Amino acid sequence: MAQITAAMVKELREKTSAGMMDCKKALNETGGDLEAAADWLRTKGIAKADKKSSRVAAEGLVAATTNGTTGTLTEVNSETDFVSRNDEFQTAVRHIADLSLDAEGDTAKLAQMETKTGQSVTDFLVTLVAKIGENMGLRRTTLLSVSQGVVTTYMHNAVADNLGKIGVLVALESSGDKDALEALGKKIAMHVAATAPLALDVDSLDPADVEKERNALIAEARESGKPEAIIEKMVDGRMQKFFKESVLMQQIFVMDGENTIEQVVETEAKTLGTPIKLTGFSRMQLGEGIEKVQEDFAAEVAATRGND
């Protein structure tokens, strides 16, 4: 076996932009042949993928999938919206979304699951990075499940079936007619996509969010110069308004503008003659929380002209 030197590893790294350990492995696999090692890295999808991995990937797709009583949302990012319309990328995202049903909402577990190529999801995407030419990666997955009933999916701004920019899951626990439950779940999911509630009910709200809102309202009310007792009542009233706007069960259903979501569920339960419990929802919006790099092309051109 040929001796693999640090200089050989360095040269291959410079040629392919692959990681040091990957370069060393490639050289070992090919008996120290530099060109063969570069080909080996390209075949494995490693060459140049590391170089792309530092670039911000805030576009891509959210995928929704369900088997009836279990549903998942999965976000896979790419650098540009153009790639989200690539058939190969869409096929890859669908495949990962199908695997997510067995990942139990655990992103780390999903990343290590075996794909149809025999690779882990992480390595599967590395191969795709090298092939398509953009940084991409699995960002997150979430899961909802019921013992009986349905988990309904809805995709807003869909670019293909169950692929788009905003995905929603709604879980309804009930022994009622599945088609009726699906229809109800779809309507509520569309409502969630539009209103982005913070929680299912008041008890599910993050205490830190509630405290932050209350403190902001207190500070605002004190500027009026009113007595503390009056301020307390003002804040209590405004907090109730905050709950009605932020909590799904208390929100006014966007499709009728009159009933709360809680009332909508109760009405359907009476129609079906069996209890229905809205046990949870999830809303996943592509790229939320990712800081995107804003390119100022005019400034770049001006800077270039200044160096002439």
Least confident of 5-19, 112-126, 145-159, 245-259: 5-19
Share of the chain above pLDDT 70, in %: 85
CATH of the domain at 261: 3.30.479.20
Do 104 and 239 lie in one domain? The reply is no
Do 224 and 273 lie in one domain? The reply is no
Where does the pLDDT of residue 87 fall: very low under 50, low under 70, confident under 90, or very high at 90 and above?
Answer: very high
E strands, the chain, are: 59-66, 70-78, 136-145, 149-156, 163-164, 166-174, 276-285
Instruction: Kindly give the pairing relationship between strand 70-78 and strand 136-145.
Output: antiparallel
Do 196 and 213 lie in one domain? The reply is no
How far apart CA 12 and CA 156 sit, in angstroms, is 45
Do 42 and 71 lie in one domain? The reply is no
First and final CA of the chain: distance in angstroms? Answer: 53
- Average pLDDT on 138-146 reads 96
Print the domain residue range for 213: 206-246
How far apart CA 6 and CA 10 sit, in angstroms, is 6
Residue 228 domain-assigned (yes or no): yes
Among 18-22, 98-102, 117-121, 285-289, name the most confident range. Answer: 98-102
Residue 1 has pLDDT above 70, yes or no: no
For residue 33, what is the DSSP state? Answer: -
Beta-ladder partners of 62? 75, 164
Instruction: Kindly give the pairing relationship between strand 166-174 and strand 276-285.
Output: antiparallel
Do 72 and 148 lie in one domain? The reply is yes
3-state secondary structure of 68: coil
- Average pLDDT on 228-235 reads 82
- Average pLDDT on 93-119 reads 95
Beta-ladder partners of 22? none
CB atoms within 10 A of CB 76: 28
- Average pLDDT on 276-291 reads 91
**198-to-20, 70, 281 alpha-carbon distances in Å:** 45, 22, 10
Task: Supply the pTM of this predicted model.
Answer: 0.74
- Number of domains observed in the structure of the chain: 3
Least confident of 61-75, 97-111, 116-130, 219-233: 219-233
pLDDT for residue 112 = 95
State which amino acid sits at residue 120.
Answer: S
Do 149 and 273 lie in one domain? The reply is yes
How far apart CA 12 and CA 26 sit, in angstroms, is 9
Do 224 and 172 lie in one domain? The reply is no
Q: Are 249 and 267 in contact (CB under 8 A)?
A: no
Do 258 and 279 lie in one domain? The reply is yes
Residue 296 domain-assigned (yes or no): no
In total, the chain counts a number of residues equal to 308
pLDDT for residue 289 = 78
Do 30 and 84 lie in one domain? The reply is no
CATH of the domain at 216: 1.10.286
- Average pLDDT on 153-182 reads 96
Query: Each residue of 184-215: pLDDT tens digit?
Result: 999 999 999 999 999 999 999 989 888 888 88
Residue 36 has pLDDT above 90, yes or no: no
Residue 66 domain-assigned (yes or no): yes
pLDDT for residue 38 = 78
